[in-house]
Amino acid sequence: MTHDQVAAVVLAAGKGTRMKSALPKVLHPLANRPMILHLLETVRGIGVERAVVVVSPDGGQVADAVAPAATAIQHEALGTGHAVSAAREALADFEGDVLVLYGDTPLISAETLTAMLAKRQSPARPAVVVLGMRPVAANEYGRLVTAADGSLEAIVEWRDATPAQRALPLCNSGVMAIDGKALFGLLDRVGNANAKGEYYLTDIVAIARADGLSCAVVEGDEAELLGVNSRIDLAAAEAVLQNRLREQAMRDGATLTAPETVFFSADTRLGKDVTVGPNVVFGPRVVVEDGAEIRAFSHLEGAKVASGAVIGPFARLRPGADIGQDAHIGNFVEVKKATVEQGAKINHLTYIGDARIGAGANIGAGTITCNYDGFEKHFTDVGAGAFIGSNSSLVAPVKIGDGAIVGAGSTVTHDVPADGLTVVRGDEKTVEGGGRRFRARRQLATGQGARRRTGSEG
């Protein structure tokens, strides 16, 4: 579907004081993406290319984040109607439909927006379509005053409403679809003689009705109209979004053993037949290909996992981890900026950073790539089929050739040629009977009796 005759105006000039934050409210992330970008993506998803974000004079950070969407500055926050007026210049040549959205109400669905635009085309041709909702706790939302035929007569703000109007169940979500040819003419006649002394966008309904234009309501689900005003709301919105992402992942063919414990980023991409165990966290930019398994308590960000690979339990993949087909990354293994080629195994207690691990290589427990000298990062290259014994330190830059073997406990600082064997250890020395003699000496010195040789004493 394309809506090249639709523009979106997103209001984001409010102060957001209840967030108590240095970060503008609409840039607070949900699923690791600024909330306003979720909204803009939904809008773009229904084919609306033209968006104007209304920001306050100090809204530079928001403007940068929403680019290439246009921004308009509302110089003083004088109300929602005044805010929409700020987009007048940006829409000077525009005659299509204008969707008005709030930057802090990011969960609205494409289906709902499409239903509103469809309503604009209905036989009565309503000049204003308002998205209504029936929240469980209607609180201080504006109330929708409807006629017997269900059409919209007016919106009354809570503070200005009579007790009878406050009892109306249908509330204003704030979202509207408006005839762009009528919009600014209607806004010109909005005054501020009301309880808040603000220019209310909501007043355009009664003005349109007085002009003989019709107005309509489309009802939406409260869950997608959740507005974020505080960190508590932010957490509630995160929960809604995480549930959507979990359901989407399962619909797309992933198995989530305990979906309620898995956390996604908005851009997480899972293939078909991926299995995700309990308590897995996907940070930004993770791609998991078909048939890979992410076991319990793994944390991934900026990583790619190829088909058939097994990650975890308790694995950490950091940015630039590129795990090849059928490779295994086991418990307490951290991989950063490293390519692990097909079938390689790194199963226990290991740090691999700034490295390549060749196909089929086996990295023993406790192996560390010593990639940082305190000033710069250096590269470790492990060839195909190489075997690194447990508890080895590979001091980068260093290259271990194809098929080479490094003995357990080695600190390797020089390159190992292909098929070579390197062991770096002190000589092992055993003194026959030395243990017995040592114990006798210590018993004498401390006056303690003979001890059993269980080794269990602390």
Query: Which residues of the shown chain bind ligand UD1 in the complex (CB under 6 A)?
Result: 11-14, 54, 74, 77-80, 82-83, 102-104, 141-142, 155, 157, 171-174, 200-202, 227
Distance CA 74, CA 14 (A): 10
How far apart are CB 381 and ligand UD1 at their closest, in Å? 52
Return the SS3 of 182: helix
Distance CA 151, CA 218 (A): 10
Residue among 75, 348, 378, 414 flagged as catalytic: 348
How far apart are CB 103 and ligand UD1 at their closest, in Å? 5
CB burial readout 189-198, b (16+ within 10 A) else e: ebeeebeeeb
Q: Of the two residues 182 and 250, which places its CB atom closer to ligand UD1 in the complex?
A: 182
Q: Of the two residues 7 and 346, which places its CB atom closer to ligand UD1 in the complex?
A: 7
Mention every residue, 6+ apart, whose C-beta is less than 8 A from residue 303: 285, 286, 287, 317, 318, 319, 320, 321, 322, 323, 335
**C-alpha torsion 174→176→181→186, nearest 10:** -30
Active site residue 348: yes
How far apart are CB 155 and ligand UD1 at their closest, in Å? 6
What's the sign of the alpha-carbon dihedral 433, 436, 440, 442?
Answer: positive
Q: Of the two residues 77 and 182, which places its CB atom closer to ligand UD1 in the complex?
A: 77
Count, residues in the chain: 458
Q: Which of 62, 96, 20, 267 is nearest to 72 (CA)?
A: 62
Q: Of the two residues 77 and 408, which places its CB atom closer to ligand UD1 in the complex?
A: 77
User: Tokens 């940006």 correspond to what residue?
Assistant: 90
How far apart are CB 193 and ligand UD1 at their closest, in Å? 13
Contact 118/129 with Cβ under 8 angstroms? no
Q: Of the two residues 128 and 280, which places its CB atom closer to ligand UD1 in the complex?
A: 128
How far apart are CB 54 and ligand UD1 at their closest, in Å? 5
User: Angle at Cα 324 formed by Cα 318 and Cα 325, nearest 5°?
Assistant: 135
Strand runs (DSSP E) across 67-151, as ranges? 70-73, 97-102, 128-133, 143-146
State the catalytic residues: 348
